[in-house]
Structure 1
Amino acid sequence: MNIRTLIHFLKWLVPALALLYLPLAYLLFFQNIRDLDDIKIQGRARIILSYDPINYLIYRGTPMGFSYEAAEHFCRYLGVDMDVVLAEDINQQLPALKYGKGDIVAHNLTITPQRTAIVSFSSPLDYTEQVLIQRKPRPAAKGERAPRLLLSAEELEGKTVSVRRGSAYYSQLLKLKNNQAIALSIETVPGVTSTSQLIRDVATGAIDYTVADRDIAEAHRTLYPNLDFTTTISPRQPLAWAVGKRSPQLESELNKWLSRADTKLHLRILHAKYYDRQYTFRRRTLRAFHSEKAGMISVYDNLIRSYAAKIGWDWRMLASLMYEESQFDANAVSWAGATGLMQLMPATAGMFKITNLFDPESNIRAGTRYLKMLHKEWKDIPDPETRLKFILASYNVGPGHVRDAQALAVKFKKDPHLWEDNVEHYLRLKSKSKYYRDKVTRYGYCNGIMPVEYTKNILARYNLYQQAIPL
């Protein structure tokens, strides 16, 4: 075959192959793109979410988060069930939507030209502005020049700011570099790194600066009092959910739902719960004991003694757990909806057919039954004192996260049946994306420092109770 014949053959072959394979490619990549009618016929909406401590997390075995609960509300409005499609890397959310892996990205995204080129956006759920996250200056030593806060974007000249590539924060920093000629350096981190993790990294000194939406930053204020969030680096920007460009009916229905008065009220309640209350909910103090009469810990001592005996606990240990949970406030309700003396989630109480969690005896009965269940869960831990630490941590965040920490301990050649420096260490690390997204884990993000400190607090207080309160 001569060259001329070969060229002629290829000119015929390439279009023929295109005609053959383009429909196949369409079916492969776009067959699952759906609009509202398809969703209602199938009875399920696929909601794309990523684990983070505000939008989607599993707490005490219960899925929750601002985006998760808002999407649940929308699915109830549609009259369909909700399937969560997990995008492990936040940068995978929009490509997953574009190629039909889900129907909606239920994440408050900044609307940018780059994003609107590939997806459509709902009406805004909220508005925000981007702020610089920086450490507050420490007092200067004698003879040192006093450090100061950066008060404007222009003062980022020569500084390095760490953000996710592809994020709206990255786009804004590029604008500052290119449009305002500010010679700053942008350090990019993997898409699996959450904004909360970057904020923590600034607090601990691992990095110097990052950027966050103001409401996300303010949600971390009480958690990291050494940080400053006052310097604004962007104009006010709308935040919205994303839908596919080939789903106009779904976009229209989503906007109708957002315009409803009950939706606006529900979103305000969720915003208060996850942005305003999650990290500012009343802190528990390590007080030795609450006593109006000598030998007493609380007005519920008799109930505590009775129910502690049913599970073979020292009643003072149960009292210490109860103080850590509610400070003996029978009407306490946490940011997550945990209720009463032992701060039980309604779903947990429902397992024991207990409905009135504000009744002290009912609450303690449900709480001790749950503790008995956790004893069975951790029967594989041979040492009783060690087993107690697994039980306490599980009571705080649910056994799933502690099992994840065990799996990480095994992976990294540690002992899954020991607490200190083993499972405890990896539970702490479950707030880092490298660990909560590891293939051996199942339950996603966990602010692991909290159950670790929770367990230490209860044991330390119990030690004080032992010294001060008769058995």
Structure 2
Amino acid sequence: MNHETWTKSQKKVKLLTMRLFIPLILALGMGSCSIPEAPIPPVQENHELVVLTRNSPTTYYEDAQGNYAGLEYDLVKLFAQELGVDVRFVVATEFSKIIPLLTKKQVHLVAAGLTITPERKKIIRFGPAYQTVQQQIVYNTFALKPDGIEDLIGKRIEVIAGSSYVERLKQAKKKAPKLAWHEISTTEIEELLEKVANGEVDYSVADSHFVSMTQNFFPNLGVAFNLGEPEQLAWAFPKDVDPYLYGKAQQFFDRIQKDGTLRRLLDRYYGHIDRLNRIDVATFLEKMNSTLPSYRKLFQQAQEITDIDWRLIAALGYQESHWNPLATSPTGVRGLMMLTSDTADYLDVNDRLNPKENVSAGARYLLALKEALPERIPEPDKTWMALAAYNAGMGHLEDARILAQRMKLNPDSWTDMKKALPLLSKTAYHTTLKHGYARGGESVILVENIRNYHNIMMKFEPAYNSPYPVLTSAKREHSLAESPEHPDKKVTLKAQ
């Protein structure tokens, strides 16, 4: 993709972003509360935990189903459950106000992806570290890549005011006195990274996990070099924090590290973000502009039938065929959603190359696979496993779940299943299982790619609110788990 084409694509993307940004903020405003004006009482007194956070994909946001999500959100909700209290989130409007509000004891703690730094430790107290990140200098790959701090002198650099990035730049300035930057009052690093991608500023600073995530939206963002040593993220408390609350937080993080809960949450939000390369993302964004409009309505109609987010169905279709309705594989799977002849017959598809029939059938098949899985499997794990079964077949997925149990892993966790599925191609394992050999590693890659494509679409494509009620009868009709006429279909049907 050349610079001119990329610029046109970025303009379209920016318009879509503006359309999405305002409704999201309004929704968050209704779901969160204003910041208390006076110090709040201890948690155990009011039976309420008040937590300050910020709106970002690494902390607290609204997902495709209109539910709140984010690593910090999930951690806080689990902690509140362990305390046996309600939780109230308040969202900071500016990053620079987060620590002052904490020191005034207007919230019990801050869960906003804060890094532990020497300067911050002088005025607040940090809980146990839960993630390690690396500050990075981000640049636009259409420009020359800077090799070190000296190359940043005289350039347009913007960073978030009050962030640890400012601390690191001040340290760097000691070696490069002419280094200068501009501090922006915002909570959202993505705003600054988008300005770098659009050529409005030359450089910015961001943590590694956020850079990797944002590169899936703006593939012309590159990492020039690391700034300083790796840092750790942690919750922040007032310096004289209530010993009861702090002790409970220590116990909580100790437990979730030992029982694997933290590992699974980190994988849920970040385990897939490095899967796509720059060309993959650029190609997908181009296809969203050129090809998706022809099939958007079909994906939305499939949502009406299945109640599965149309953007997830579209992401699956892209992974399968790059939205090519005439796609045919050497093994005979065909069409936009790449259906086998058996699957097409079972779902009453007359012509697999007809996009309308193919998209509807692919979505119904995915729904049937979800319904064939045990109800106890939580979301989004159930969806990721259904996608893996879409590729490998339900029988091989069940083999992998059995294998996970043998390995003392959790068969209801996608994080653990990512370890078990690749073993289906190894003789020592698949010979001990009912359905034998499978390219389980391929299924993992498929799911992780779809997760990325879905995330990209959730940013740039609005959710679809169907004017019709969900056709639950279609769910029953096409549920593989409940079909008395095809008792073995849930383990033999495959769409690859």
Instruction: Give the TM-score, by structure 1 length.
Output: 0.55
Change in 2 beyond 3 A, CA 1:53/1:121 = same
In structure 2, what is the equivalent of residue 152 of structure 1? Answer: 148
In structure 2, what is the equivalent of residue 287 of structure 1? Answer: 324
Q: Alpha-carbon deviation of 1:223?
A: 3.4
Residue 191 of structure 2 corresponds to residue 191 of structure 1: no
Alignment of structure 1 residues 274-353 onto 2, 5 Å? 274-277=269-272, 280=275, 284=319, 285-289=322-326, 292=332, 298=339, 317=356, 319-320=358-359, 330=369, 336-337=380-381, 339=383
Q: Alpha-carbon deviation of 1:112?
A: 3.1
Once residues 219 and 175 of structure 2 are traced to their aligned partners in structure 1, the CA distance between those partners, rounded to angstroms, is 31
Aligned to 1:110, the other structure's residue is in SS state: coil
Kindly indicate whether the alpha-carbon contact (under 8 Å) linking 1:49 and 1:84 is maintained by their aligned counterparts in 2: yes
Q: What are the superposed Cα offsets for residues 230-285 of structure 1, whole Å, 9 maximum, x if unpaired?
A: 50111222321101223241222212222235467222222222123258587642
Q: Alpha-carbon deviation of 1:337?
A: 4.4
Once residues 378 and 192 of structure 2 are traced to their aligned partners in structure 1, the CA distance between those partners, rounded to angstroms, is 26
Q: What are the superposed Cα offsets for residues 187-223 of structure 1, whole Å, 9 maximum, x if unpaired?
A: 222224x112222222222222110112221233443
In structure 2, what is the equivalent of residue 32 of structure 1? Answer: 40
Once residues 303 and 244 of structure 1 are traced to their aligned partners in structure 2, the CA distance between those partners, rounded to angstroms, is 61
Kindly indicate whether the alpha-carbon contact (under 8 Å) linking 2:339 and 2:362 is maintained by their aligned counterparts in 1: no
Larger Rg: 1
Kindly indicate whether the alpha-carbon contact (under 8 Å) linking 1:218 and 1:229 is maintained by their aligned counterparts in 2: no
Structure 2: unaligned runs, 5 residues or longer: 1-35, 277-314, 388-396, 399-455, 467-496
Alignment of structure 1 residues 399-410 onto 2, 5 Å? none
In structure 1, what is the equivalent of residue 206 of structure 2? Answer: 212
Aligned to 1:286, the other structure's residue is in SS state: coil
In structure 1, what is the equivalent of residue 85 of structure 2? Answer: 80
Once residues 148 and 123 of structure 1 are traced to their aligned partners in structure 2, the CA distance between those partners, rounded to angstroms, is 40
Q: Alpha-carbon deviation of 1:152?
A: 1.9
Q: Alpha-carbon deviation of 1:326?
A: 8.8
In structure 2, what is the equivalent of residue 99 of structure 1? Answer: 104
Q: Alpha-carbon deviation of 1:328?
A: 8.7
Once residues 225 and 295 of structure 1 are traced to their aligned partners in structure 2, the CA distance between those partners, rounded to angstroms, is 28
Q: What are the superposed Cα offsets for residues 342-397 of structure 1, whole Å, 9 maximum, x if unpaired?
A: 98xxxxxxxxxxxxxx99xxxxxxxxxxxxxxxxxxxxxxxxxxxxxxxxxxxxxx
Change in 2 beyond 3 A, CA 1:167/1:43 = same
Residue 49 of structure 2 corresponds to residue 45 of structure 1: yes
Once residues 227 and 210 of structure 2 are traced to their aligned partners in structure 1, the CA distance between those partners, rounded to angstroms, is 15
Letter in 1 for 2:60: Y
Which one of the candidate residues 52, 55, 59 is aligned to 2:59?
A: 55
Residue 455 of structure 2 corresponds to residue 450 of structure 1: no
Letter in 2 for 1:63: Y
Once residues 338 and 247 of structure 1 are traced to their aligned partners in structure 2, the CA distance between those partners, rounded to angstroms, is 39
Letter in 2 for 1:260: R
Aligned to 1:200, the other structure's residue is in SS state: helix
In structure 2, what is the equivalent of residue 396 of structure 1? Answer: none
Change in 2 beyond 3 A, CA 1:305/1:122 = same
Letter in 2 for 1:276: G
Q: Alpha-carbon deviation of 1:61?
A: 1.2
Which one of the candidate residues 130, 147, 166 is aligned to 2:162?
A: 166
Once residues 149 and 384 of structure 2 are traced to their aligned partners in structure 1, the CA distance between those partners, rounded to angstroms, is 47
In structure 2, what is the equivalent of residue 426 of structure 1? Answer: none
Once residues 231 and 334 of structure 2 are traced to their aligned partners in structure 1, the CA distance between those partners, rounded to angstroms, is 59
In structure 2, what is the equivalent of residue 141 of structure 1? Answer: none
Change in 2 beyond 3 A, CA 1:127/1:340 = closer
Letter in 1 for 2:359: S
In structure 2, what is the equivalent of residue 200 of structure 1? Answer: 194
Once residues 334 and 148 of structure 1 are traced to their aligned partners in structure 2, the CA distance between those partners, rounded to angstroms, is 46
Aligned to 2:383, the other structure's residue is in SS state: coil
Change in 2 beyond 3 A, CA 1:326/1:55 = farther
Aligned to 2:167, the other structure's residue is in SS state: helix
Kindly indicate whether the alpha-carbon contact (under 8 Å) linking 1:164 and 1:170 is maintained by their aligned counterparts in 2: yes
Once residues 118 and 326 of structure 1 are traced to their aligned partners in structure 2, the CA distance between those partners, rounded to angstroms, is 55
Which one of the candidate residues 128, 140, 155 is aligned to 1:123?
A: 128
Q: What are the superposed Cα offsets for residues 285-315 of structure 1, whole Å, 9 maximum, x if unpaired?
A: 2221566589997465577679xxxxxxxx9
Kindly indicate whether the alpha-carbon contact (under 8 Å) linking 1:156 and 1:182 is maintained by their aligned counterparts in 2: no
Once residues 325 and 52 of structure 1 are traced to their aligned partners in structure 2, the CA distance between those partners, rounded to angstroms, is 33
Once residues 240 and 458 of structure 2 are traced to their aligned partners in structure 1, the CA distance between those partners, rounded to angstroms, is 38
Change in 2 beyond 3 A, CA 1:112/1:288 = same
Once residues 229 and 326 of structure 1 are traced to their aligned partners in structure 2, the CA distance between those partners, rounded to angstroms, is 40
Instruction: Give the TM-score, by structure 2 length.
Output: 0.52
Kindly indicate whether the alpha-carbon contact (under 8 Å) linking 2:94 and 2:186 is maintained by their aligned counterparts in 1: yes
Once residues 325 and 274 of structure 1 are traced to their aligned partners in structure 2, the CA distance between those partners, rounded to angstroms, is 27
Once residues 326 and 86 of structure 1 are traced to their aligned partners in structure 2, the CA distance between those partners, rounded to angstroms, is 40
Once residues 175 and 287 of structure 1 are traced to their aligned partners in structure 2, the CA distance between those partners, rounded to angstroms, is 52
Identity of aligned residues (%): 21
Q: Alpha-carbon deviation of 1:114?
A: 4.0
Change in 2 beyond 3 A, CA 1:323/1:166 = farther
Once residues 347 and 71 of structure 2 are traced to their aligned partners in structure 1, the CA distance between those partners, rounded to angstroms, is 35
Structure 1: unaligned runs, 5 residues or longer: 1-27, 139-146, 307-314, 344-357, 360-430, 432-445, 456-471
Aligned to 1:95, the other structure's residue is in SS state: helix
Q: Alpha-carbon deviation of 1:115?
A: 2.7
Once residues 134 and 340 of structure 1 are traced to their aligned partners in structure 2, the CA distance between those partners, rounded to angstroms, is 33
Q: Alpha-carbon deviation of 1:336?
A: 4.5
Alignment of structure 1 residues 187-266 onto 2, 5 Å? 187-192=182-187, 194-249=188-243, 250-260=245-255, 262=257, 265-266=260-261
Aligned to 1:108, the other structure's residue is in SS state: coil
Letter in 2 for 1:233: L
Once residues 260 and 70 of structure 2 are traced to their aligned partners in structure 1, the CA distance between those partners, rounded to angstroms, is 16
Change in 2 beyond 3 A, CA 1:262/1:131 = closer
Letter in 2 for 1:126: Q
Once residues 322 and 200 of structure 1 are traced to their aligned partners in structure 2, the CA distance between those partners, rounded to angstroms, is 38
Residue 74 of structure 2 corresponds to residue 69 of structure 1: yes
